[in-house]
Amino acid sequence: MKPIFAVILAAASAAVPAIADPLPSWNDTGAKARITEFVDSVTDPTSEVFVPVAERIAVFDNDGTLWAEQPIYFQMLYALDILQQKAEEDPSILTSDVLKAAAENNLEGVMAGGHEGLLEVINVSHANITPEAFKSSAHEWLTTEDHPTTGLTYAGMTYQPMLELLSYLRDEGFATYIVSGGGVDFIRAIAGDAYNIPSQQVVGSEGTTTYAVTDGVPALTKEGGITFIDDKEGKPVGIMRHIGKRPIFAAGNSDGDFAMLEWTTAGEGARFGLLLHHTDAEREFAYDREGHIGVLNRGLDEGPDRGWLIVDMAEDWSRIWSSN
Amino acid sequence: MKPIFAVILAAASAAVPAIADPLPSWNDTGAKARITEFVDSVTDPTSEVFVPVAERIAVFDNDGTLWAEQPIYFQMLYALDILQQKAEEDPSILTSDVLKAAAENNLEGVMAGGHEGLLEVINVSHANITPEAFKSSAHEWLTTEDHPTTGLTYAGMTYQPMLELLSYLRDEGFATYIVSGGGVDFIRAIAGDAYNIPSQQVVGSEGTTTYAVTDGVPALTKEGGITFIDDKEGKPVGIMRHIGKRPIFAAGNSDGDFAMLEWTTAGEGARFGLLLHHTDAEREFAYDREGHIGVLNRGLDEGPDRGWLIVDMAEDWSRIWSSN
């Protein structure tokens, strides 16, 4: 058996990029080393903090963590486009000031309606459609429409360093999940193509879906209405509901991710919390403590003392977008 | 490279039981051949109905399909035991006739309360506990308490032929999921040990869970209350929410599984629907059209015309329990 074993070992080590840099878009500014040191420690069977493969669960926020979220969540821009198409066909659907503002692409008017206003836009734009048709529509929009300031497609505005991190973790035996405040069907529309993450590894906010047989054809229909908001304290809840285990690695960028990182890193053994700090006004967007999207206060104040890695996008990343 | 390739091939084929029967507890009565013919057809790359691994999703009901459900769902027996323990410590929790009946182990009195009564028992017995502590308690109960008529542990009352089917499908590249009307945390307590199914592949009914930090310790708490019932039309809904894809294989045993089989088998390409018919009063339990548990009417009436396999447990299985 010895020669066979040696051959298999040789083949195995040839397949593992032991020397190649798994995170080539990360500068050597310290952040990269902290990530690889953690991964080395939990994947080394002789390590005191070794974690078996089944427990190597890594969770990632989506908006602002895996792709951009300015000037507003991409899902909201999609919802506005769809609402405007629907209103052209039937203006009578614009039954409120928020919906009228949305139809005129008046973002401030929509935001003035607060959380309820956003839900109203989502409800009208995302309802009365099968999940399959919705995902097909969202996929087309994300891969063909251009972002207002970068001119890139939305699907092209994923962060190359984060794609490398996802891929690196998977190569090291982690299961990578998205845990997002965004709608689960919207993210699933692109998660396979954009992140190589299958639909069952996407956790998100959920709406009312019903099952019915019409003319002999069974189908699910998205009805509008939100049944679960996977944000803030909802993120640990959503993870337990969906995955049933506490992750050992969590990445986010806003205080909406605080509870997820808090819960993840409070577990026993080695844990990793990562917050992206949007510091790069030139290549991406610079924002943190103020604004209407991706607000990061508590994470900046408490994250370092909690041992979380704060990634400075301007300093730590040599490249931003996956598409250029 | 040729010698290495040959060695790897030899190692690979040695690991695959090409000749051994993957379903040894299934008699040669036709049912087994229908299953293996389906699996052969969707896993053969040259087949017209070949299905890639990522789409090989198989879903299984739990109660009455993977393990027994008589005289009542095991989760209800567990809930009664816990309720009785709690009532001994504090009788004031028995605030209704249903709860009083439950404390006296009066099953008929509990059932007289209908669906609402069952929820009341669940709410009182499954609340104010972390999911981790709940799973630990349920696991101990399932592996140490004896069933009232068989004398087996509850965990020992899984069906050996179904364990073989799960294992066979996984060997053929399927992802196997449980999709149950039972509580997701209860099933996850035992799914790994009993079925080799990880927690993230268990879909079930869900209760209210909250996240809070107490004395610096972040924790989730089960609060009682049901937020999602994964039964009947809820099963396709739960599958889409959790997995995000339509399965190609679905197995159940009651009309609570009808919509799941209907939706699964209405998809394009090769599909498989399986219903267990509880016909074996001697070795297990015999029931179908009447009763309070596992009622199967529509499935028996329409299943065969829909091409679903009706498994006759007395005739098609040479062995029932995994534990003896």
Q: What is the pLDDT of residues B19-65, one digit of tens each?
A: 689 999 999 999 999 999 999 999 999 999 999 999 999 999 999 99
Task: With H, G, I as helix, E, B as strand and everything else as coil, classify residue B2.
Answer: helix
Neighbours of A52 (CB within 10 A): 10
Q: What is the mean pLDDT of residues A50-63?
A: 98
pLDDT at B269 (0 to 100): 96
Q: Chain A closest CA to B211's CA: distance in Å?
A: 6
Q: Chain A closest CA to B7's CA: distance in Å?
A: 7
Q: What are the chain A neighbours of B7 within 8 Å (beta carbons)?
A: 4, 7-8
Task: List the structure tokens of A268.
Answer: 């026993």
Query: Cα–Cα distances in Å, from A314 out to A140, A162, A257, A278, B60?
Result: 31, 14, 21, 8, 49
Q: CB neighbours of B243 closer than 8 A, spacing ≥ 6?
A: A199, A200, B57, B59, B177, B203
Give the closest residue to A307 by CA, choosing from A254, A256, A278, A267.
A267
Q: What is the mean pLDDT of residues A191-211?
A: 97
pLDDT at A171 (0 to 100): 98
Q: How many CA atoms lie within 13 A of B282 on its CB side?
A: 6
Q: What are the chain A neighbours of B210 within 8 Å (beta carbons)?
A: 233, 237
CA distance A105 to B248: 42
Give the closest residue to A159 by CA, choosing from A296, A276, A274, A290.
A276
pLDDT at A195 (0 to 100): 98
More confident residue, B5 or B63: B63
pLDDT band at B15 (very low <50, low <70, confident <90, very high): low
CB contact under 8 A, B184 and A262: no
Q: What is the mean pLDDT of residues A208-213?
A: 96
pLDDT at A1 (0 to 100): 40
**CATH 3.30.70.2190 for the A22-71+157-316 domain, yes or no:** no
Question: Which chain A residue has its CA at the smallest distance from B247's CA?
Answer: A200
Q: Which of residues 3-32 of B touch A (CB under 8 A)?
A: 3-4, 7-8, 11
Total residues belonging to chain A: 324
Q: How many helices (H) and strands (E) does chain A have?
A: 13, 8
Residues A57-78 have pLDDT tens digits of 999 999 999 999 999 999 999 9
Q: What is the CA radius of gyration of chain B?
A: 21
Res. A284: pLDDT tops 50 = yes
CA B96 to chain centre: 31
Res. B18: pLDDT tops 70 = no
Q: Where do the structural domains in chain A lie, given as residue ranges? A: 22-71+157-316
Q: What is the mean pLDDT of residues B1-15?
A: 49
Q: Is A286 on the interface with B (CB under 8 A)?
A: no
Q: Chain B closest CA to A136's CA: distance in Å?
A: 13
Res. B1: pLDDT tops 50 = no
Q: Is B210 on the interface with A (CB under 8 A)?
A: yes
The identity of residue B303, as a single letter, is G
CB contact under 8 A, A199 and B233: no
Res. B285: pLDDT tops 90 = yes
Torsion, CA B222, CA B228, CA B232, CA B238, rounded to 10: -100
Give the closest residue to A11 by CA, choosing from B4, B171, B307.
B4
Please report, in angstroms and rounded to a whole number, the separation of the first and last CA atoms in chain A.
49
Task: List the structure tokens of A44.
Answer: 């080394």
> By the 8 A CB rule, do A244 and A236 touch?
no
CB contact under 8 A, A54 and B233: no
pLDDT band at A117 (very low <50, low <70, confident <90, very high): confident
Tell me which of B211, B271, B305, B308 to substitute to probe the interface with A (most A C-beta atoms closer than 10 Å).
B211
CB contact under 8 A, B245 and A184: no
> By the 8 A CB rule, do B204 and B181 touch?
yes
More confident residue, B114 or B184: B184
Mean pLDDT (chain A, rounded) = 93
| DSSP string computed for B247-310 | -SEEEESSGGGHHHHHHHHTSSS--EEEEEEEE-TTTS-EESSSSSSS--SHHHHHTTTTT-EE
**pLDDT-wise least confident of A309-313, B5-9, B298-302:** B5-9
CA distance B115 to B230: 14
Q: What is the mean pLDDT of residues B208-232?
A: 94
Q: What is the mean pLDDT of residues A260-271?
A: 97
Question: Which chain B residue has its CA at the smallest distance from A238's CA?
Answer: B209
CB contact under 8 A, B199 and A243: yes
Question: Which chain B residue has its CA at the smallest distance from A198's CA?
Answer: B54
Q: Which residues are paired to A214 by β-bridges?
A: A217
Q: Chain A closest CA to B201's CA: distance in Å?
A: 8
The complex's ipTM works out to 0.91
Question: Which chain B residue has its CA at the smallest distance from A191's CA?
Answer: B244
Tell me which of B185, B206, B220 to substitute to probe the interface with A (most A C-beta atoms closer than 10 Å).
B220
CB contact under 8 A, B218 and A262: yes
More confident residue, A194 or A292: A194
Give the closest residue to B322 by CA, choosing from B187, B158, B166.
B158
pLDDT band at A111 (very low <50, low <70, confident <90, very high): confident
